Amino acid sequence: MCLDTAGRATYVSGMYLPPAFREDDVAVLHDAIRRIRFGALVTVDADGVPDASHVPMLVDPDPAPYGTLIGHLARANPMIRATGTALAIFGGPNAYVTPSWYASKREHGKVVPTWNYVAVHATGPIEMIDDADALHAIVKRLTETHEAGRPAPWAVSDAPADFMRGQLKGIVGFRIPIARLEGKWKMSQNRPPADREGVVAGLAQEAPEVAALIPRE
């Protein structure tokens, strides 16, 4: 439980993290956020009711140790009035795992299905940003990030300046200095090597991005 700036209780619990699946390396977690790019932003309103929006977000490494998340919301979104603690959830590669892939199934049959996945949770106090220059900078950075690598990248400056000023009036930016950063790489680490090899082979065609994350030793 945390208290927001008005002294109201807010509830943002941590992620269930068995030791075998826990990822604590901040660089790895930041890299995952940068690759996933899109997350669920969750806050709690004055009545204790959760609100959620799905938005692209950037992560900056400063301040240490966990950095800062940056993004924006539509001005019509009630979440722009949020205070207190926010939770940003980033879902990475994931796939169903059938027990038919386990060597253990053929040995004793005592196996059940599961799901392999990557998830990153970032929590911290949310701060709203309504300065026009700051909003322009956020939109510019988001655009440059997502347009990078395209043959003819679109730039904010491609749109008429007065049009962009009008568009910026329709959004509110946010900043979340990250107070807690958690990562879960559930990739069959709790299975014996022969079972993991079976999962890698089974996912090679169905979800190769998940297969590549499964430890082989």
Q: What CATH number is associated with residue 34?
A: 2.30.110.10
Domain membership flag for residue 217: no
Residue 202 lies in a domain: no
Residue 124 lies in a domain: yes
Task: Give the whole-angstrom CA distance, residue 50 versus residue 79.
Answer: 10
Mean pLDDT, range 170-174, rounded to an integer:
98
State how beta strands 114-125 and 85-97 pair. Answer: antiparallel
Average of pLDDT values for 190-212? 97
Residue 82 in any domain: the answer is: yes
* Assigned domain for 136 exists: yes
pLDDT of residue 9: 38
- Number of domains forming the structure of the chain: 1
pLDDT for 77-129, tens place per residue? Answer: 999 999 999 999 999 999 999 999 999 999 999 999 999 999 999 999 999 99
Q: What's the domain range around 137?
A: 2-94+115-190
Average pLDDT rounded to a whole number, residues 201-213: 97
pLDDT at residue 73 above 70?
yes
Residue 78 in domain: yes
In a domain, 212, yes or no: no
Whole-number pLDDT of residue 217: 74
| Residue pair 14/180 in contact by the 8 Å Cβ criterion | yes
Percent of the chain at pLDDT exceeding 90: 90
pLDDT at 180 > cutoff 60: yes
Mean pLDDT of 204-215: 96
Query: How far is C-alpha 187 from the geometric centre of its chain's CA atoms?
Result: 18
132: in domain: yes
Task: Provide the 3-class DSSP secondary structure of residue 151.
Answer: coil
Q: Find out whether 67 and 60 touch, Cβ atoms under 8 Å.
A: yes
Strand partners, 114: 97
Mean pLDDT score across all residues of the chain:
93
Give the pLDDT band (50/70/90) at residue 13: low
Length of the chain: 217
- Cβ atoms of 67 and 54 within 8 Å: the answer is no
pLDDT digits (tens, 9 = 90+) for 134-159: 999 999 999 999 999 999 999 999 99
Strands in the chain per DSSP E = 2-3, 9-10, 22-23, 38-44, 50-56, 58-60, 68-74, 85-97, 114-125, 127-129, 171-177, 180-186
- pLDDT reading at 1 higher than 90: no
